[in-house]
Structure 1
């Protein structure tokens, strides 16, 4: 593995864990707290969060990890072999499918639906409590697990790579 990709992979372990930590906070207590607000408070806060997320470090990490994950998969498939190749490629695939694709296919459409809703309408409260909270949180938990698993797989892949290089 080239030194550049090697160091990038190490930083990616950290980035997977950071993004997973944000998702964990939402699944563990933020969404539950928002569900306990009165009236349309939770829906309103989530509308604001969904607008603000595009302006900060999180989105750079989230999108950047998709590109880096693809690089890791390609690098593992074409330039590595053995357990390290399998683990590193699996890490990238887990992030791309379990985090990035889940976000695009499930969470973003729900965020867009919520963004277009009028907080004064009863249908917004119904969507918020009956659909958004349980489904969004479920898919967010999938993203949390995927990020943790991707970090672990990449860490184990880098460890296997180091052990294989030392054995040579």
Structure 2
């Protein structure tokens, strides 16, 4: 395996886990806490603040890295570990990045345009946003964790295959 790809893959395992940890916190306790309080204003603020560089570099940067790793796994690694590497990359790209673009971002944008003091906003928040956003966020959490585990497994498998 190319040393550059090897280092990139190790960094991707860590990045998948870090991004998944952020999503886990939201699914595990942040959204429940916001549901118990006047969370609309707070979630609107969170959705504005998420665009700062640290999280976005990891989250957005993993999309092309995941596709690169999937392609490399298919072309450069081979059947067993390569297939697992392909799965790791595609699961992140579809299950985290794709879900974010298709589901979470549109809900965030809808919430951003609402006045937290209006009844229709409270209805949207409690009946639509909280359950749906949290469901899709949990999908992202699982996708990140699975991608990290699969990529790590593929790296170990590839290293063991080279040693024998």
Sort the TM-score into its range (normalised by shorter chain). over 0.9
User: TM-score, normalising length from structure 2?
Assistant: 0.98
User: Residues of 2 paired with 1:141 and 1:27: CA distance?
Assistant: 6
**Structure 1 unaligned runs (5+)?**
none
User: Residues of 1 paired with 2:59 and 2:7: CA distance?
Assistant: 18
| 1:32 corresponds to | 32
Query: Alignment partner for residue 149 of structure 1, among 142, 146, 151?
Result: 146
How far did 1:74 drift? 1.0
User: Residues of 2 paired with 1:153 and 1:83: CA distance?
Assistant: 12
User: Residues of 2 paired with 1:47 and 1:110: CA distance?
Assistant: 11
Q: What is the CA deviation profile of residues 22-43 of structure 1, one whole-angstrom value per residue up to 9, with x for unaligned ones?
A: 0000000000000000xxx201
Secondary structure at the aligned position of 1:120 is classed as coil
How far did 1:69 drift? 0.2
Aligned pair count reads 164
**Structure 2 unaligned runs (5+)?**
none
Q: How does 1:89-128 map to 2 (within 5 A)?
A: 89-128=86-125
| 2:14 corresponds to | 14
Q: What is the CA deviation profile of residues 132-158 of structure 1, one whole-angstrom value per residue up to 9, with x for unaligned ones?
A: 000000000000000000000000000
User: Residues of 2 paired with 1:98 and 1:44: CA distance?
Assistant: 28
How far did 1:55 drift? 1.1
| 1:3 corresponds to | 3
User: Residues of 2 paired with 1:142 and 1:118: CA distance?
Assistant: 28
| 2:127 corresponds to | 130
Secondary structure at the aligned position of 1:97 is classed as helix
* RMSD (Å) for aligned C-alpha atoms: 0.6
Detail structure 1 runs of 4+ shifted over 6 Å in the superposition.
Answer: none
